[in-house]
Structure 1
């Protein structure tokens, strides 16, 4: 848990992992190093949640391989066909960082609520466990955003945990559907005002306040989207801090 006694969330728009140019397998990007460093621990305990991927065993295996050379203690929590630990709440509270994969955020939230993981994760966050994740693993901490959980055409979705009282946009510069639909959804009031992140960019919140954006992509950016008072929105660019890739 964070030694600073604060509640951290790093919501990543994309780019948590990259192919290793030397070996060809996935390796964590600097965004994951940033999340791990927030704990202040020399060997942080990192839990992987692949609920949004149906607890895909191949993804979990790749993730264990991705961290093979990092000084972290990796474990995972699954719910298929049943939880793989006796007490999921106790398990989550013992972690330093919890990373949530991309996939179906709608399915993820349904299963978390069924198993009480939403309440356990909220308790872990309040206790100082760093929460992070990409795409679905970023949307879930917010009120909502746009999702392809229901098909290739994106739909607004507002059934997230709401730890962060904002909407969230992910893959903002790589999927042409994302920006206009988020603008439309915020303008109509279907989603609250919020933030968005390009590929390779993370939104760092302390408590419920966005304190900075960080990036491993020199051209990447974050954005704040607000209603403009005349039925539209205004988008404000947030320059992120560049991390080592």
Structure 2
């Protein structure tokens, strides 16, 4: 059962999210919080697997709460929710370790699927966010590319082959099929790569791959 903590300052939004998630198979709403300053205590008490975290709240915004809690050992996975898909929110959230970024108009079915994906170690971005994020890394920055490639050089050849496919957006199962290895092997390579590179999740790993203009042929 995936335990979810809902954090939003609007009671109607919290109620709507609860109505969407409670009937979903394998998902349990562990509790609610009304502002970012309540997140640390709620996470300690409720031990959720996934936190749905509003970006803009009156006392402490979601990004500040994310920055505090995401580095904790065994921290939950965070999905940022917002009405706005402003670039500065997206980029900072992903840098801080968010595993997802969704708009509040996300269809109910997609929200439940996103929770499952993130709980399983994956990452999820709203389509408009994905399009703009990819566009942001289309233009080459030679200095940034060199720095990213230097970081990736710490990986083994097989790890580089795996992370290149992460950058292509493939799931662990798809990577396993592509590279003809087991899914458990892929998961182990991804985990070791993130540890070596000091990254919090697959989104950050994919960003680094894009910064390096890295492809599977570079492995």
TM-score, length basis structure 2: 0.42
Structure number with the higher helix fraction is 2
Higher RCO (CA < 8 A, seq sep 6+): 1
Structure number with the higher strand fraction is 1
